[in-house]
Structure 1
Amino acid sequence: MHELSIATSIVKIAEDETLKVNASDVTKIELEIGALSGIEIDALKFVWSSAVKDSVLEKAVLEIVKIKGMAICENCNTEFELENIYDVCIKCNSNFKNITQGKGMKIKRLEVI
């Protein structure tokens, strides 16, 4: 389950950022997780409390925004939504596409005190 290592990496980043601004705790953390990122949101939520225990994130509200996958077809230039990385173009059924969003994960916002 790589979600635990992702959660511990988020804790490390949050601790580093709170040190930079001399904050003691995080009250809210907002994550953007792409639909194509390979991160199982339910699994991340499941391990979250264990990963943040005794950290600056222990009392923080976790907010997750799911970013849909989007691509542009290389053959017909159609922009379309992807549910899976292997989806084909909705117009011409081509497999050749440039994925434009939804592959990553980022910490969008930390609210600190």
Structure 2
Amino acid sequence: MHELSIATSILKTSENEVRKINGLQVAEIYLEIGKISGIEIASLEFVWDQCMKDTVLENARRHIQETGGLAKCAECGMQFPIEKIFDPCPGCGSPFKEILKGKEMKIKKLLITT
């Protein structure tokens, strides 16, 4: 379960941002997680409370947006949405593609109380 290490990384980044502005804690956190990032949102939520106990994120409201995948075929150049990393090009059937979107995990916004 790598979601625990992801939660820990989110916590470290959030702590750094709170420290930069001499804040107290995070009131809200906005995350963007790509559908083909390999991150299980349910697993991340499962480890969240225990990982964030007694930290700047303990009482933060979470907002998670899951973004769809987008790829560009290496053979025909067609851009197409993908649900899974192995989805072939619907135009020519080629399995070779460049992933344009959907693998990211971003902290989009932190609302910090001071």
Which TM-score bucket, shorter chain as reference? over 0.9
The aligned counterpart of 2:14 is 14
Matched residue count = 113
Query: CA–CA distance in 2 between the matches of 1:63 and 1:51?
Result: 17
Unpaired segments of 5 or more residues in structure 1? none
The aligned counterpart of 1:36 is 36
Residue identity in the other structure for 1:69: G
Q: Secondary structure at the match of 1:62?
A: strand
Note the aligned Cα RMSD (angstroms). 0.7
Query: CA–CA distance in 2 between the matches of 1:72 and 1:40?
Result: 24
The aligned counterpart of 2:103 is 103
Find runs of 4+ consecutive structure 1 residues off by over 3 angstroms: none
How much identity, in percent, do the aligned residues show?
Answer: 51
Q: Secondary structure at the match of 2:4?
A: helix
Q: CA deviation at 1:60?
A: 0.3
Residues 41-80 of structure 1, C-alpha deviation per residue, up to 9 Å, x if partnerless?
Answer: 0000111101110000001001111111100112121111
TM-score where L is the length of structure 1: 0.97
Q: Secondary structure at the match of 1:15?
A: helix
Query: CA–CA distance in 2 between the matches of 1:71 and 1:2?
Result: 25
Q: CA deviation at 1:87?
A: 0.5
Q: Secondary structure at the match of 2:98?
A: strand
The aligned counterpart of 1:60 is 60
Residue identity in the other structure for 1:8: T
Query: CA–CA distance in 2 between the matches of 1:100 and 1:9?
Result: 24
In the alignment, is residue 88 of structure 1 matched against residue 84 of structure 2?
no
Residue identity in the other structure for 1:3: E
Q: Secondary structure at the match of 2:75?
A: coil
TM-score where L is the length of structure 2: 0.96
